[in-house]
Amino acid sequence: MLQHTRHRVRFFAAAIVALLPTLAFGQSMRCGSELITRGTSQAKVAALCGQPAQVVRPEVTDGVVPGVSDVENETWIYNFGPNKLMQRIRFRNGVVANIDTIGYGY
């Protein structure tokens, strides 16, 4: 019984290690043959993926003065049509900070 439990633990540990590369690319987006990931510049995303369907620029504040901040945030939405998932890319200071899938396009 103990040997069976050890075998099971080893199997699950190996499965988790095998999935780690997949988890690392969980926040990525493909444009053509290129992969967009965290750290990609805004200019490179625009060059590889084209203009987004929507750009959201949240109101900035430094906590004291509205419209003033040391951090620039921007969100781009890519809509690839009704048969594909839309992608939301959040930029922080001009580089990709996060990529989310947000449902089917229109």
Burial class (CB in 10 A: 0-12, 13-18, 19+), 25: exposed
Determine the pLDDT at residue 59: 78
Of 54, 53, 52, 105, nearest to 82 by C-alpha is: 105
Token pair belonging to 47: 């060059």
Determine the pLDDT at residue 55: 96
Determine the pLDDT at residue 24: 45
Determine the pLDDT at residue 9: 52
Distance set, CA 70 to CA 75, 91, 92 (Å): 17, 14, 10
Judge whether residue 15 has pLDDT over 60. no
Determine the pLDDT at residue 71: 75
Go through the domains of the chain in sequence order and give each one's CATH number.
29-104 (3.30.1450.10)
Determine the pLDDT at residue 1: 57
Judge whether residue 23 has pLDDT over 80. no
Q: What is the pTM of this model?
A: 0.68
- Nearest-angstrom CA–CA distance, 96 and 78: 14
Q: Tell me: the pLDDT tens digits for 46-101?
A: 999 999 999 999 876 666 666 666 678 999 999 999 999 999 999 999 999 999 99
Determine the pLDDT at residue 2: 55
